[in-house]
Amino acid sequence: MIRNLFIAFFLVSTALSAQVKFEAKVSKKKLGVNERLRIDFVMNKDGDNFTPPSFQGFKIIGGPNQAVSNSWTNGKRTFSKTYTYFLAPLKRGKFTIKQATIEIEGETYKTLPVPITVTAAVEIPKDPNDPNYIAEENIHLVAEVSNSKPYLNEPITVTYKLYVGPYVNARDYDVLDSPKYNDFWSQNIEIKRYTPERGVYEGKQYNYYVLKRVVLYPQKSGKLSIQPLSLNVSVDVATNRRDFFGGRIYSQAQKTVTAGKRTINVKPLPEAGKPDNFTGAVGDFTFKVTTTKSELNANESLQAKVEVSGKGNLKLFNLPKLNVPSSLEIYEPEHDESVRTNLSGMRGKIADSYTIVPQYQGKYPIPTISFSYFDLNTESYKTLTSDELIVNVLEGPTNASAVEDPKTNTTTKQVVTTSNSQFRSFKLSPNLQSMARQDFFGTRSFYMLLLLPFLIIPIALFIGKKKRQMENDVEGNKVRKANRLAKRYLSEAKKALGTKESFYEALERALHNYLKAKLKIETSEFSKEKIQELLGQRNVSFNTTDGFVSLLKSCEFARYTPASGEAMKQDYQKAVEVISQIDKQIS
């Protein structure tokens, strides 16, 4: 009887131990709206097709991160797989994190719903050992506005700076909410490199990174809002703990930062003194009207250009129209812009080019035209007027009814008559070619294709000979293969910047394979002493050799110590420089 009970107990225990478990675990079930929630979906057997819940009422600021644990204890295997998310609540209230699903051994498993209560903002404990508190105190995002009270169409610059304190290292960031520039004309200024600079924020020294620059031109007066930029920043936080080698241990944290909403008070342009021909130009400009010819024959063409150049809102106003006598045929203008935008705003020129074709002999005036703009330096309107231009038509039909002004010696009102040569300046012949089908046999292309195989055969034989020579060159093939591997692994290391394990593993492989190619030694011969000896025999300088060996040491230490993104970039750059120096010093 006792033996049967023992057997039954053993079978039940075995069945329970083999049971699949899939559950959701949260860091807390009640939190403030300014706090963060961690949720882990844990399973004791490997599965596929994991589907998370929608996380209604929360925003994902980190994850999914995946972790797998596989261990053996007293001959018994223990397996655990976890998907981790970091969530930020969107508002106060009671929410439910719904079921996640996973397929394990052909069956679908679901987690239980988890109720979460979000309260008003709570005071974050000022614990100097808490990574979240340290990140809160040392990461700040600021939007700096060059001018908060501009005129309508006056350029302003918004610069977004991420200030980083001495106890943290910003590894990466995700944009949670991009700023909106409603009622502004906007132009982003490209930032090629994120270079740290020193600056002061709230009386303290920080390193800061310029993440974004944008030039804005307000398009209406009054109070205009610039919506905030929000980021989720992944940071490494220095702790008071030390590792085996004495290096400081870093802890990871997530920090949500917001630049804050900014209000711009835009002043309207003054009504007093505003010219009738003002079309919205604001800045500092020059104005001119030019022609490509001053003398020509009838039915020939010339180009007249109306051009504005300088600094201001060049893309946001219209150029004045060109008027000519009725006996000059004028066509719709072609608009051209050569404008660049930098931190101070737009600069360059815009122009309208008109094609003009005269019909008759005579002298025709192109009247003056005016261009008005608001000068920001003097805060007043200015009007520029072009010079009057004369177009002298030398040869062509005359109009008997034309009237010549004896004072200006120009021809005015005329009765327009057409002639057969009215459009002589335009190309009227289409140069059409026949589409009739031609016989291919006997053509030049036919004979070229016929001889092509006889040209390809010797080329193929030559390539085959070279290929066999390369295949027989065993030593050269080893060198080329190792060289390719070094290049490939160095490329992989560059791609893995920011991921410590992958980066240093690829970097170490690249260094090993590079030396294997250069020194023609096998991997089994590698040791730091051997490397120093061989490089010294090849007349490589001590500093270069020491730099190579120190890189290998960095790759080894990185397995046990934390490394920031900046340190990885420095190691990668150092590897490029060391390889370049060895290439120059080894013949």
Return the closest-CA partner of residue 491 out of 521, 513, 474: 513
The predicted pLDDT at position 129 comes to 64
Return the closest-CA partner of residue 513 out of 503, 500, 522: 522
Please report the domains of the chain, with CATH numbers, ordered by start residue.
18-119 (2.60.40.740), 131-266 (2.60.40), 282-411 (2.60.40), 474-585 (1.20.120)
Q: Tell me which DSSP letter residue 315 carries.
A: G
Distance from C-alpha of 572 to C-alpha of 549, rounded to nearest angstrom = 14
What pairs with residue 366 in β-bridges?
A: 389
State phi, psi for 129 to the nearest 5 degrees. -100, -5
Distance from C-alpha of 157 to C-alpha of 8, rounded to nearest angstrom = 78
The predicted pLDDT at position 432 comes to 67
The predicted pLDDT at position 17 comes to 43
The answer to whether the beta carbons of residues 298 and 182 sit under 8 Å apart is no
Classify burial at 475, counting beta carbons within 10 Å of its beta carbon; exposed 0-12, middle 13-18, buried 19 or more: exposed
Other CB atoms within 10 Å distance of the CB of residue 360 = 21
pLDDT in tens, the chain (587 residues): 555 555 554 444 444 445 888 999 998 899 888 788 889 999 988 888 899 998 988 988 777 888 787 777 666 778 888 888 888 888 889 999 999 999 988 889 999 999 999 988 777 666 666 777 778 888 899 999 999 999 999 999 999 999 998 878 887 888 877 888 889 999 999 888 888 899 998 888 899 999 999 999 999 999 999 888 888 888 888 776 776 666 667 777 878 888 878 899 999 999 999 999 999 999 999 999 999 998 999 888 999 999 999 999 999 999 999 998 888 899 999 999 999 999 899 999 999 999 999 988 889 999 999 999 999 999 999 999 999 999 999 887 876 554 444 344 444 444 444 444 555 555 556 666 666 556 666 777 777 888 888 888 888 888 888 777 777 765 566 556 555 655 666 787 787 777 777 888 888 888 888 777 777 766 555 667 777 778 887 888 887 888 888 888 777 777 566 666 777 888 888 888 888 778 777 75
CB contact set of 333 (below 8 Å; sequence gap of 6+): 306, 322, 352, 353, 354
The predicted pLDDT at position 416 comes to 44
- Whether omega before 64 lies within 30 degrees of 0, making that bond cis, reads yes
Do strands 389-393 and 362-366 pair parallel, antiparallel, or not at all (unpaired)?
antiparallel
State phi, psi for 118 to the nearest 5 degrees. -110, 120
Q: H/E/C letters for each residue in 374-419?
A: EECCCCEEEEEECCCEEEEECCCCCCCCCCEECCCCEECCCCCCCC
The predicted pLDDT at position 236 comes to 84
Do strands 370-375 and 282-291 pair parallel, antiparallel, or not at all (unpaired)?
parallel
> Hey, is 282 helix, strand or coil?
strand
Alpha carbon 489 to its chain's center = 25
The predicted pLDDT at position 417 comes to 44
Other CB atoms within 10 Å distance of the CB of residue 374 = 26
Distance from C-alpha of 206 to C-alpha of 168, rounded to nearest angstrom = 11
The predicted pLDDT at position 552 comes to 80
